[in-house]
Every structure is written in C-alpha cells, then in structure tokens.
Amino acid sequence: MNVPGLPPVARTGKIAGHTALRALQICVGLQDWSTPEAASTITRRDLEPAYDDCHKLALHIEPDTDLVETPNMRKAVMDFLLRELIW
C-alpha cells in the first residue's frame, strides 16, 4: 500500500497496526525486490506489539522465494482462512 504523502507521516505497518483485533495475514518472499528483509523487519516490529494480545496476526515468510505463491504459502493462506472464517 502506498498513499502519496503518507510515508513521512506513518509507515504501512503502523497503519495496519490500528486495525488490530481484525485478522491479518502477511506472506512475504524475501527475494522479492519490493519487500526487502529490512522492510519486512520494520513491518513486523510495527505490527507485532499491536497484535500481541489478540493473536490474530499470521506471518508467513519465505527467505528463498520472490514474488511467487509457493505450495507452503498457499497452505498457510488456506489454514489462515479456515481458522479465521470458520468459527
């Protein structure tokens, strides 16, 4: 997500942290040029404290893939959706 003029005010992770209590899954392939490991680390640091108490944050990080859906990533998404949508 990129909103013109917003990055100097708040990072995406900080904005997403305000939605805490709603389930959120993030899947990242760290070899993707648009999600470098440093950016992923900042996002995690912003989000994890907001989601600590509700346990609704699911992170799936694949260090050796880029912008591609892997079988493990698909399984993580399906598990997340089943857990969060079927209660």
Tell me the average confidence (pLDDT) per consecutive run of 10 residues in the chain, 87 residues long.
62 69 88 87 87 85 93 95 84
Q: How many Å apart are CA 63 and CA 4, to the nearest integer?
A: 29
Residue 65 to residues 35, 40, 46, 71, 75, Cα–Cα distance (Å): 11, 14, 23, 12, 15
Within a domain: residue 43? yes
Element (H, E) at 71: helix 71-85
Within a domain: residue 5? no
Domain that holds residue 52: 12-85
pLDDT of residue 30: 92
Number of folded domains that form the chain: 1
Within a domain: residue 55? yes
Within a domain: residue 3? no
Within a domain: residue 76? yes
pLDDT of residue 65: 93
Q: How many Å apart are CA 29 and CA 37, to the nearest integer?
A: 9
pLDDT of residue 54: 75
Within a domain: residue 59? yes
pLDDT of residue 1: 47
Within a domain: residue 4? no
Q: How many Å apart are CA 30 and CA 70, to the nearest integer?
A: 13
Within a domain: residue 29? yes
